[in-house]
Amino acid sequence: MNTSLKWILAILLTLSAAVYQRLTGPTYPKRIKVELSGKQYKFKLPRSHGGQTAQEIKLVVPDTAIKAELHFRRFKMNEEWQIVPFQRQANVLIAELPGQPPAGKLEYFIVFKMQNKTVTVPQNSAVVIRFKGKVPALVLIPHVLGMFLSMLLAMVTFFEALSKGPKIKQFTLWTTIVLFAGGMILGPLVQKFAFGAYWTGVPFGWDLTDNKTLIAMIFWLIASWRVLKGNALQNRWWVILAVLVMFIVFLIPHSMMGSELNYQTMTVETGH
């Protein structure tokens, strides 16, 4: 397998993982399709908000006969729904969800009103949005790039090991270094800015993002130790195992079982 093919396959697998993360993560906007007055509409409803400011909900609905209400309440609190009418600005309906402390969550849904008919969106369950502290771009962007670069390098290492290439040791070390920087240094910084704690995985909590990063890191440290200690070709199966573990880790949606504010105790918990 030539070098170009290795990189092309690695890029395709990394992009596939990125798309999967984008489509499955609980903090990415929820895509909604709904028919209103005989016309199909598509909306993206936010499920994450940086900062404790209000979250605007904007819906492009040109038909001025269509009205809407925003219903919301604090997540996991058995309390009455609060109702806020959408205000129209030209073709856009706008309403706001009130800001919450870091890790605070609201659940909400929208009721459209058209003459004698109402339509609830989503129909079966409310959308849950989580609030977080503002993460500086100088921390967040390198973290995201570091994580996906580590995945890309891992995929290249995988094909290098499968084909018994001469650079197994170099790619293994580079993957380990980049994963450590992106996941174990920048990751905790992002967590601190967003939710007030550097680490909420084992042994301090059950945050799935922290724990899956830790598991991947352990396997890459073992793989690096094996290829440095002995013959890289003979120990390439440790590298392949580390890659497979990392790929499985990337398939777990980001932010699952993450930080969540308990409104009764006003403490941040994980593992829910």
Q: What global pTM score does this model have? A: 0.85
Q: What distance in Å separates the CA atoms of residue 59 and residue 121, rounded to the nearest whole number?
A: 12
Radius of gyration of the chain (CA): 23
Is 191 within 8 Å of 197 (Cβ atoms)?
yes
Residue 220 has pLDDT above 90, yes or no: yes
What mean pLDDT value characterizes the chain? 92
Buried b (16+ CB within 10 A) or exposed e, 43-82: bebbbbbeeeeebebebebeeeebbbbbbbebbeeeeeee
pLDDT at 69: 97
Range with lowest mean pLDDT among 204-213, 214-223, 238-247: 204-213
Range with lowest mean pLDDT among 44-58, 75-89, 138-152, 255-269: 255-269
Domain ranges of the chain: 3-25+135-269, 37-132
Amino acid at 14: T
pLDDT at 215: 95
Q: What distance in Å separates the CA atoms of residue 92 and residue 58, rounded to the nearest whole number?
A: 6
Residue 270 has pLDDT above 90, yes or no: no
CATH for the 37-132 domain, from 3.50.50.60, 2.60.40.10, 3.40.47.10, 3.40.930.10? 2.60.40.10
Name the DSSP class of 184: I
What kind and span of H or E run contains 62?
A: none
Q: Give percent above pLDDT 70 in the chain.
A: 98
Q: H helices within 60-207, ranges in order?
A: 137-162, 168-179, 186-195
Q: Which of helix, strand or coil describes residue 230?
A: coil
Residue 231 has pLDDT above 70, yes or no: yes
